[in-house]
Amino acid sequence: MAGFKLGLGANSKVQPGNDSSPEKLNQIMSKIKGGIQVGRVTDIILNLNYPEINKFGGPNAIGTIFYELNNFIGGKEGVAKPLFPQTSAYPLVNEMVMVFKLPNNNIGRNTSDESYYYINMINLWNHPHHNAYPNPVTTTTLPESQQRDYQQTLGGAVRRVTDEETDINLNSIKNISQATFVERNDIHPLQPFAGDIIHEGRWSNSIRFGSTNKTINLGTSSNNWSFNGTTGDPITIIRNGQPSNSTDEGWKHITEKIQEDLSSIYLTSYQSIPLSPSSENYRSFNTPPTSVSLFTNPQIIFNSNRIVINEKTDSVLLSAQNSVNLSTNKSVNINTQTLSIDAANVMLGSKDAKESVVLGDTLHFQLNGICDALIQMLNILSVSQIWPNGIPTNDIEANTIYSSLLTQIKQIQEYLPEALSKNVKTI
């Protein structure tokens, strides 16, 4: 195993006879350290419409950047590919990245062949929206307001946009089809709390792996999920979009607000979440469930203007220990070929319903039998006779009445099947 090299040292070819002493290792590490550069992105390939994309690898060139060395005038433009294959965090034009050399896909033919790679953007402004800064050496015509926006303040390097836009180029100038980034002043970063791991996109979309955070000795909270439970209780918040009334002071940190954020998913442990459901009509319950905002055991909350659950090949299964509640301010609509309800008791109209539902087929059978008996009797009565003088004579007045009733009973019997539902069955 002594002949194998591990770690960063494996990227440097050691000629036969060279030693692996600490002095040699220091030389190798110095070379690696000296190879790290800071590059300002001048362009990036994001789709196949980029001019002459085949020169840079065709589809494999997606994510490739062109860069200039920081604070450098002139010289050849560098090219670098993203380092991480599973994570796409591509920079904007005028953002700065760390660039360094590593082996490329020609390593099988030439073990010393290397290319430049870059890792994530340098967090210049400590802001998720963008961290661009035009080259101060080559850019000398910035408007006064823009110069103010990109100055260091007494509080540190904080960019506070004072105008509606800064006119800084953030998009490719060679491929107009990918020039879609528009700077916004109202994108706020999330307020972190001790122990949080937060992943933020550029447009107020985020995942927080956090916990209950109560102020020590005060029992208070500076967020909306730490009023109950114990500090350290885990919570995961997935949020897409901040409140629509967010201010233009985009440098100020905010926290998630489930009632105001555009869409969100909360996975809780022992927190209470201040959500006011659109409908809390629990009249069908003998014992109503605990309100969402008062529940302090683990729960998952989906909140948005619309929620769609679509199953493509099998089933949607809802299972609960106590109850499944559908509560709405307007209607519950079910459209299907077959609706089956298997229950020991079915209450329609109210949880206190007492009247029994009629069995339609049984009632039809009984009513049909009654109609048959009445028809037989009326067939006889409609031709009944009287003997006023001992001679049989048709009772015309009574016969007319019985004949009319016979017609009505036959009509009732004829329409009895129409009283049976073609879709709803019971037992």
Q: Specify the higher pLDDT residue, 123 or 111.
A: 123
The string of pLDDT tens digits covering residues 136-155 is 766 554 555 455 555 443 33
pTM over 0.85: no
Rounded mean pLDDT of 241-257? 93
Rounded mean pLDDT of 107-132? 85
Separation of alpha carbons 186 and 247, rounded Å: 6
Residue at token pair 């500076």: 222
Residue 43's pLDDT band (cuts 50, 70, 90): very high
Looking at the DSSP assignment, which residues form a beta bridge with residue 74? none
Backbone angles phi, psi at 413, to 5 degrees: -65, -35
Q: What is the pLDDT of residue 230?
A: 92
The answer to whether 286 touches 252, Cβ cutoff 8 Å, is no
The string of pLDDT tens digits covering residues 375-422 is 888 888 888 877 777 777 777 888 888 888 889 989 888 888 888 888
The answer to whether 81 touches 115, Cβ cutoff 8 Å, is yes
Instruction: Pick the range with the lowest mean pLDDT from 31-40, 81-90, 251-260.
Output: 31-40
Secondary structure (H, E, C), the chain:
CCCCCCHHHHHCCCCCCCCCCHHHHHHHHHHHHHHCEEEEEEEECCCCCCCCHHHHCHHHHCCCEEEEECCCCCCCCEEEEECCCCCCCCCCCCEEEEEEEEECCCCCCCCCCEEEEEEEECCCCCCCCCCECCCCCCCCCCCHHHHHHCCCECCECCCCCCCCCCCCCCCCCCCHHHCCCCCCCCCCCECCCCCCEEEECCCCEEEEEEECCECCCCCCECCCCCCCCCCCCEEEEEEECCCCCCCCCCCCCECCCCCCCCEEEEECCCCCCCCCCCCCCCCCCCCCCCCHHHCCCCCEEEECCCCCCCCCCCCCCCCCCCCCCCCCCCCCCCCCCCCCCCCCCCCCCCCCCCCCCCCHHHHHHHHHHHHHHHHHHHHHHCCCEECCCCCCEECHHHHHHHHHHHHHHHHHHHHHHHHCCCCCCCC
Average pLDDT, the chain: 83
- Dmax over Cα atoms in the chain, in whole Å? 149
Residue 9's pLDDT band (cuts 50, 70, 90): very low
Most confident range (mean pLDDT) of 140-149, 291-300, 336-345, 381-390 is 291-300
Q: What is the pLDDT of residue 70?
A: 74
Residue 24 has pLDDT above 90, yes or no: no
Rounded mean pLDDT of 168-179? 92
Separation of alpha carbons 64 and 84, rounded Å: 12
Rounded mean pLDDT of 96-100? 93
Separation of alpha carbons 252 and 175, rounded Å: 34
Residue 18's pLDDT band (cuts 50, 70, 90): very low
Of 350, 354, 349, 339, the C-alpha closest to 421 is: 339
Residue 173 has pLDDT above 50, yes or no: yes
Residue 8 has pLDDT above 60, yes or no: no
Q: Of how many residues is the chain composed?
A: 427
Residue 10's pLDDT band (cuts 50, 70, 90): very low
Cβ count within 10 A of residue 364 = 15
